[in-house]
Structures are given as structure tokens and as C-alpha cells.
């Protein structure tokens, strides 16, 4: 059987070019024959012995049932269209749910980023405080070192004076003179 579709001549050439470009679409089964729609009445469909099956006729929106009138074909195609629209709406709802989930995750990450920025600022403040304390400690340490050196010099001086006094005392005792 032959199926005659109602399309214009430009679409016929597009379909033939597509069929030639796609070898998997070519088979041993007879191809669909497209004729100029002006030669047919709107409700006519010519059929013969080798009518393509549902598996032979496909399209973007699924399979078309081969029927005897154009009106029945449109009804079948509309059901397929409605199924496709329902699938697309379901996919859209799924994508919207994923989008909402990603927005929530993004908000959570933004919050964590803010917390990390605050923690970083606190650590930088603490580092500044520690550097100030270290500078002060180094100053105190330097001051302590100077005080320790002065005290050591004083002790040494006192010891030296004490030794001189003791030495003088020892010499005077030896000579019998009292200072």
C-alpha cells in the first residue's frame, strides 16, 4: 500500500534529503510516497497492499497510527502530542525542583562562605593582637635584658668594691694598720 501525505513540494525535497543523509532510515520496505497536496481532495488517502506499520511511520512526537482518513490521523497525532506535552511538563517540573534544590544549596554555601569570612576576620584580628603582644614582649625582654645587665654590672661593681675593701682590710691587718 502507498500512503499519501498532505505536504507541500518543499517539504518533500527536505524529507528526501534527510532520508538520503540518514542511511538507517532506508530499508527494503517501500518508502513513503509524497505527492503534491493540490492533486488530492482533503479527506483522501490512497492505500495499497504494503501499508507501512506503526513502526515504519515515526516522528519527533512519537509513532503515528496509519488510518483510513485524515481526521483519524489528526486525532491519533493529537493524543501523541498531548502525551508529549505531559512528558515535557513533567520534565519541566523536575527541572524546576532541581533548580530550587540548587538555589537552596547555593544559599547554604553563601551562608557558609559568610561564616568563613567572619572566622577569617576574627583570626586576622587575633594574629594582629598576637603580633602586638610579641612586639611588646620583645620590648619587655630587651628592657629586662638591659636591667639584668645593669644589675650584673652593679653586683660586679659592688663585688669589686667589696674585694677592694677586703683587700685593703687584709693589707692593713697584715701591716697592723686599721683603716
For the segment 77-125, what is each residue's pLDDT rounded down to a tens digit? 555 777 888 889 999 999 999 999 999 999 999 999 999 999 999 999 9
Is residue 8 included in any domain, yes or no? yes
Is residue 56 included in any domain, yes or no? yes
* Number of domains within the chain: 1
Q: What is the 3-state composition of the chain as percent helix, strand, coil, each rounded to the nearest 5?
A: 70, 5, 25
What residue ranges of the chain have pLDDT lower than 70? 1-16, 19, 22-79, 159-162, 165-167, 169-179
Which pLDDT score, from 0 to 100, does residue 157 have? 72
Is residue 124 included in any domain, yes or no? no
Is residue 155 included in any domain, yes or no? no
Is residue 27 included in any domain, yes or no? yes
Is residue 26 included in any domain, yes or no? yes
Collapse the DSSP code of 36 into the 3-class scheme (helix H, G, I; strand E, B; otherwise coil) and give the result. Answer: strand
Which pLDDT score, from 0 to 100, does residue 83 have? 82
Is residue 119 included in any domain, yes or no? no
Is residue 137 included in any domain, yes or no? no
Neighbours of 64 (CB within 10 A): 19
Collapse the DSSP code of 143 into the 3-class scheme (helix H, G, I; strand E, B; otherwise coil) and give the result. Answer: helix
Tell me 58's DSSP state. E
Amino acid at each position: 500500500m502507498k500512503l499519501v501525505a498532505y505536504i507541500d513540494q518543499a517539504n518533500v525535497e527536505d524529507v528526501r534529503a534527510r532520508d538520503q543523509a540518514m542511511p538507517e532510515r532506508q530499508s527494503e520496505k517501500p518508502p513513503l510516497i509524497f505527492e503534491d497536496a493540490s492533486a488530492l481532495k482533503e479527506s483522501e488517502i490512497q492505500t495499497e497492499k504494503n501499508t507501512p506499520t506503526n513502526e515504519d511511520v515515526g516522528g519527533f512526537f512519537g509513532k503515528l497510527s496509519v488510518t483510513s482518513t485524515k481526521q483519524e490521523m489528526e486525532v491519533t497525532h493529537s493524543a501523541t502530542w498531548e502525551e508529549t506535552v505531559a512528558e515535557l511538563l513533567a520534565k519541566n517540573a523536575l527541572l524546576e525542583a532541581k533548580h530550587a534544590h540548587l538555589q537552596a544549596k547555593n544559599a547554604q554555601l553563601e551562608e557558609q562562605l559568610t561564616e568563613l569570612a567572619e572566622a577569617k576576620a576574627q583570626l586576622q584580628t587575633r594574629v594582629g593582637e598576637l603580633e602586638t603582644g610579641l612586639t611588646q614582649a620583645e620590648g619587655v625582654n630587651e628592657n629586662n635584658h638591659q636591667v639584668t645587665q645593669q644589675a650584673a654590672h652593679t653586683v660586679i661593681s659592688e663585688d669589686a668594691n667589696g674585694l677592694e675593701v677586703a683587700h685593703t682590710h687584709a693589707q692593713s691587718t697584715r701591716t697592723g694598720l686599721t683603716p
